[in-house]
Amino acid sequence: MSVVFRTHVSMLLFLLAELWPAQSGLSGLMASMAVAVAASVVATAALLLAAVAARTSGPLTPTRIRTAIRDRELRTAFLAQRDPDARGRRRPRAPGRSVLTAA
């Protein structure tokens, strides 16, 4: 969902939660039920919009899949692999007896 849509939905829920129950003569339970129903309606509408958008976008072509994989590969950053046998590197110490430092 876009940022604008989420902002509008959050503002609508804020207005429903804060302003509308305070100005109406509803009890606290009825006001909270009204806000819960409104939130459920908004969530259902968002799910339906997502389902419709997924159905109307059409199947993915192999070209789009390859492009997405290539773009992800270009964005992925890997740490440089260290070669312990490279020139100038000391060999790691072999595990052995622990050295007594204090008697």
* 32-87 residue pLDDT tens: 777 788 888 888 888 888 888 888 877 888 998 999 999 998 888 766 667 767 78
With b meaning 16 or more CB within 10 Å and e meaning fewer, what string describes 13-31?
eeebbeeebeeeeeeeeeb
Residue 26 pLDDT exceeds 70: no
Q: Which of these, 10, 8, 18, 17, lies nearest to 35 by C-alpha position?
A: 17
Q: Are 16 and 34 in contact (CB under 8 A)?
A: yes
Full-model pTM: 0.39
The pLDDT of residue 24 is: 62
What's the confidence (pLDDT) of residue 79? 62
